[in-house]
Amino acid sequence: MHADHMLDLVTLRYVYPWRARPRHERLRVVMPPGSADQLLDLARGAGNARHFEDSFRLSEHDGSSSMTFGGLDMRPIETVHFIPCWGFRMDANGRRLAYTADTAPCDGLENLADGAHLLLSEATLRTLDEDAQPPERRGHLLPAEAGETATRAGAKRLLLTHLPVDDGAEWARRDAAATFDGDVAVAEPNQSYEV
pLDDT tens per residue, range 134-153: 667 889 999 999 999 999 99
At residue 23, φ and ψ (nearest 5 deg) are -50, -40
Q: Is the pLDDT reported for residue 86 higher than 80?
A: yes
The overall average pLDDT reported for the chain is: 91
- Structure-model confidence comparison of residues 21 and 163, the more confident one: 163
All structural domains of the chain, each given as residue ranges with its CATH number in brackets, are 1-60 (no CATH), 63-195 (3.60.15.10)
Distance CA 166, CA 144 (A): 19
Nearest-Å Rg of the Cα atoms of the chain is: 18
Using one digit for the tens of pLDDT, what is the confidence trace for 152-193? 999 999 999 999 877 778 999 999 999 999 999 999 989 999
Position 45 confidence tier, pLDDT thresholds 50, 70, 90? confident
- Structure-model confidence comparison of residues 14 and 139, the more confident one: 139
> So what's the pLDDT on residue 166?
73
Q: Is the pLDDT reported for residue 89 higher than 90?
A: yes
> So what's the pLDDT on residue 25?
84
* Residues pairing with 161 in the sheet: 122
